[in-house]
Amino acid sequence: MSAVPPSPVWHPFTQHRLDPVFKGILRTEGAYLIDEDGRAVLDAISSWWVITHGHRHPTIMDAIRKATESFDQIIFAEYTHAAAEELAQGVIEIAPAGLSHVFFSDSGSTSVEVALKMALGFFHNRGVPRARIVVMEHSYHGDTVGTMSAGARGVFNAAYEPLLFAVETIPFPAPGREQDTLDALDRACRGGDVAALLVEPLVLGAGGMKTYSAHLLAEFRRITSRWNVLLIADEVMTGWGRTGTHFACEQAGIMPDILCTSKGLTGGALPLAATLCQPAIFEAHLSTDRSRTFFHSSSYTANPIACAAGLANLAVWRNEPVRDRVTRLANMHAERLVHFRSDPRFLNVRQIGTVAALDLDVRSTGYLSEVGPSLRTFFRRRDLLIRPLGNVIYLMPPYCVTAAELDRAYEAIAEAADFVGTPGR
């Protein structure tokens, strides 16, 4: 029998020397990925946080099929279409009140790039010399050059340092150190050259699922408003029910100047992103002077088929008990985390909405912790898609997950601690 030739595919966030073989997925259904061996793998992280209602939700799939009968891609710089118009209006209606315009793009990273350019363009077009961006320690906003610049410096972007622009970083508001963060933000904004504060509201995703209170987010809004600094909310991961509300900003009762959304915008079915902004930001680019145009685009901006999926996602939220499912999932997490809070093998057991996380107590921590690959292998052998951030284990399943399925995941987490050992104790 001849050997299988190596694949030409280069996978994301993958060291191919250590992970040379990838199992094929034949189809998806509900909370599961069905692999080439016919094994049903529980998707406990929503395929990188994108699948909200479950894989291949019939309403969304039907909308995609119907859209393909009339559309493929059309140039959005020259024309518009009903799906984009209706989706923009629908997202504005459920977003924090006051956001008035929607710029479509293709991914979470590009939605944040758009937000940064909107912020700088806002001050540039008004003749105000503000160009500095403030971000939070441990944050992650994407892998394009602008979003890498705005994210934490480290293993993710060390090789690309020559490309990155400087930002001001405030400390993460660790318990007992919250005032330090607020003071640092106030000092930075007081200088008068800050254009925007960019934050992931309530929970930092790839930075380790670190959580902070809605009160602090409200204080960020108060401080930025005091110094006329724009607040950009990166809700790419936190939106669409993940934190328990439609958008995380709702829990702080704030309106950001700019809001970024993607992932759950189409229920995870197709890539699409949107950057929402307040009227003043749009109006700063509105002029008979063509040099004040907002110069950003993508070949696939507002793809009609993706927008149709987004509209169907809105229909699911409107016509099905999605909020009840979110509440139920949050409650199921809370019940199962009780045991782990008293388990000395785990630290910092935490939850926000449908996101649960806990740190395995080991000597080597961080994204490159050697326990990370061991944990992934352990979970994979149990037909679970759980992809730890080093020693940080988290669950973020689709809202259709059952109690029995969630039990499988938590039981495996408890077993995994013994499998890899806990030398940090």
Query: pLDDT by residue (tens digit) across 114-127?
Result: 999 999 999 999 99
pLDDT at 4: 63
Name the domain boundary from 271, 291, 319: 319
Classify residue 66: in a domain, yes or no.
yes
On whether both 263 and 389 belong to a single domain, the answer is no
Beta bridge partners of 25: 35
- Residue keyed to tokens 């969304």: 60
Q: How far is CA 257 from CA 49, 97, 198, 232, 318, in A?
A: 25, 11, 10, 6, 26
pLDDT at 19: 83
Q: Quote the domain boundaries for residue 340.
A: 25-53+322-420
pLDDT at 62: 98
Contact 197, 232 (CB under 8 A): yes
pLDDT at 248: 98
pLDDT at 175: 95
Name the domain boundary from 297, 319, 341: 319
On whether both 224 and 86 belong to a single domain, the answer is yes
pLDDT at 21: 83
Query: DSSP assignment of 383-395, as one string?
Result: TEE---BTTEEEE
On whether both 29 and 70 belong to a single domain, the answer is no
pLDDT at 422: 54
pLDDT at 425: 42
pLDDT at 3: 56
Domain count, the chain: 2
| 165, containing H or E segment | none
Per-residue tens of pLDDT for the chain, all 425 residues: 455 678 899 999 999 998 878 999 999 999 999 999 999 999 999 999 999 999 999 999 999 999 999 999 999 999 999 999 999 999 999 999 999 999 999 999 999 999 999 999 999 999 999 999 999 999 999 999 999 999 999 888 999 999 999 999 999 999 999 999 999 999 999 999 999 999 999 999 999 999 999 999 999 999 999 999 999 999 999 999 999 999 999 999 999 999 999 999 999 999 999 999 999 999 999 999 999 999 999 999 999 999 999 999 999 999 999 999 999 999 999 999 999 999 999 999 999 999 999 999 998 888 888 899 999 999 999 999 999 999 999 999 999 999 999 999 999 999 999 887 654 44
Classify residue 9: in a domain, yes or no.
no
On whether both 248 and 367 belong to a single domain, the answer is no
Name the domain boundary from 271, 298, 319: 319
What CATH number did the domain enclosing 120 receive? Answer: 3.40.640.10
Phi, psi of 192 (to 5 degrees): 90, 0
pLDDT at 219: 98
- Residue keyed to tokens 């997925």: 25
Query: pLDDT by residue (tens digit) across 387-402?
Result: 999 999 999 999 999 9
pTM tops 0.85: yes
